[in-house]
Structure 1
């Protein structure tokens, strides 16, 4: 990665109110290189230009800090992380985060394990599985301060995936696009059934772009009923 791209990373983070040191920069450079290397043999991302990776993956992931609930020591679960977004950039920034990453595709978890090793990340657990199953598992259910998800499902479905993992008084941070308001309106029943509420909706403009999206911050108010999450086919057929 050339100096121009490093400057974009540092300056773009600064625009988001984030100060990166050289350790952070070196970690992001390693991440970028490994992602591009692995992407040659498996489809991890459609974004392959380094400048675009910095802006649309790394900086976009870091926008979660605008929610003001990630302080650096929380236990976080990332549902459907793909190539590690948004949780690994947050882990790079805050090495003391305790991170669990869930993905349903085995080959992606192989990459994520290699990535965690390559970056020498501690307290990272990579799980090959489905959120609908793991959300019923006592080892994962209501164990996390914050659940994260980016580009996985419609908000009403995402709430059913993620809220069972989240502790009471914990949060779900959902990365959403320009249709976020429609998804929020369609999620009122899911919010009620799963005993949570939207605490904030934050507008985000990605540095160096005119791309606008929203972060939906949802607070869990009380314990989730044991029947949630439901079976995958039922969630798909009859979303809350």
Structure 2
């Protein structure tokens, strides 16, 4: 629990107060992640300190962008969630949030269902599928206060996947590693087309010199046109520029 106590103290100034139950949930998550990773490729990071810094701490940095909004019972979708980052750590820290985890890998979704069950997490829905399909379904389209993605794709691409899920007035926060200035400029038209989004970028440095991060917070000010997202594969091949 040493790393859990470290996490508890580190995020306390952000207004996140992790109790003993939540620390146990992070500990369970770590052990299930490492064990499952032996038979399924979930993460290249398995050393405990690194998992706590690069996965758990990193995921919780979104609370810095949300501020007071993060104190309410948000409805969140994590697109391309993979092994559950940032969705599961955010759910552990905010038990009253309603969280949807979306991924195109059935095996990863089965792992996340196991995590939610064993950690006793309520109001977690794990969905196997593609954002391009689910973002056009009535029960998901523009229904979320917050969408997140640890973005591998460029901002103009990942924004097309995620912004259709966000209600007007809500936020999409893209978690990026490298510098994002060029991407933000390149995505200017896409961010306007997809909902006249207001952009705020926050740079963070992980503890122990484990790297830098950028949170790109897009506040949605208008509805996303019905044409978006386009069919599977199109946003990558023909990004909005």
Q: TM-score range by the shorter chain?
A: over 0.9
Match of 1:177 in 2: 177
Pair 1:214-2:196 in alignment = no
Structure 1 contact 200–217 (Cα < 8 Å) conserved: yes
Describe the superposition over 1:167-209 as per-residue Cα deviations: whole angstroms up to 9, x where unpaired.
0111101111222111111100101111232342112122232
Q: Find the aligned partners of 1:104 and 1:17 in 2 and give their Cα distance.
A: 33
In the superposition, the TM-score normalised over structure 1's length comes to 0.94
Match of 2:43 in 1: 45
Q: Secondary structure at the match of 1:232?
A: coil
1:159: how far off?
0.8
Match of 1:145 in 2: 145
Match of 2:56 in 1: 58
Q: Give unpaired runs (5+ residues) of structure 1.
A: none
Q: 2:21 aligns with which of 20, 23, 33?
A: 23
Match of 1:202 in 2: 202
Q: Find the aligned partners of 2:80 and 2:147 in 1 and give their Cα distance.
A: 11
Q: Give unpaired runs (5+ residues) of structure 2.
A: none
1:71: how far off?
1.9
Structure 2 contact 78–86 (Cα < 8 Å) conserved: yes
**Bigger Cα displacement from structure 2, 91-100 vs 192-201:** 192-201
**What do you get for the CA RMSD once the two structures are aligned?**
1.5
Q: Find the aligned partners of 1:211 and 1:72 in 2 and give their Cα distance.
A: 30
Structure 1 contact 196–218 (Cα < 8 Å) conserved: no
Q: Find the aligned partners of 1:55 and 1:13 in 2 and give their Cα distance.
A: 11
1:17: how far off?
5.3
1:233: how far off?
2.5
Describe the superposition over 1:146-168 as per-residue Cα deviations: whole angstroms up to 9, x where unpaired.
10111332110111001100101
Structure 2 contact 145–170 (Cα < 8 Å) conserved: yes
Runs of at least 4 residues off by over 4 Å = none
Q: Find the aligned partners of 2:206 and 2:15 in 1 and give their Cα distance.
A: 12
In the superposition, the TM-score normalised over structure 2's length comes to 0.94
Q: Secondary structure at the match of 2:137?
A: coil
Structure 2 contact 54–210 (Cα < 8 Å) conserved: no
Structure 1 contact 79–101 (Cα < 8 Å) conserved: yes
